[in-house]
Amino acid sequence: MILLTKISGKQILINENMIEIAQETPDTVITMNNGHTYIVSEGLDEIIDKVIQFNRNSKRRMRSKNRNENHVENHNKNQSE
């Protein structure tokens, strides 16, 4: 999820995987897969940066979680031997 700001100033979280189209007209209009549209303050470049950063952080958290799970499994395995 990425944090964006509606033209009214209200912040919203948008599921970046559900974005169908984002365009500047000149306001940035985001159309979701379900047809809902949002007009936001951020430009396309900033939205792209937020999506990239979110995906990087998600991958980093997943790798960290997998390492922790493997550590626990190895610890439990060693204790049972």
Boundaries of domain holding 16: 2-80
Q: What is the pLDDT of residues 40-52, one digit of tens each?
A: 999 999 999 999 9
Percentage of the chain beyond pLDDT 70 is: 79
DSSP string, the chain: -EEEEBTTS-EEEE-GGGEEEEEESSSEEEEETTS-EEEESS-HHHHHHHHHHHHHHHHHHHHHHHHHHHHHHHHHHHHH-
Higher pLDDT, residue 3 or 59: 3
Q: Structural domain tally of the chain? A: 1
For the whole prediction, is pTM greater than 0.75? no
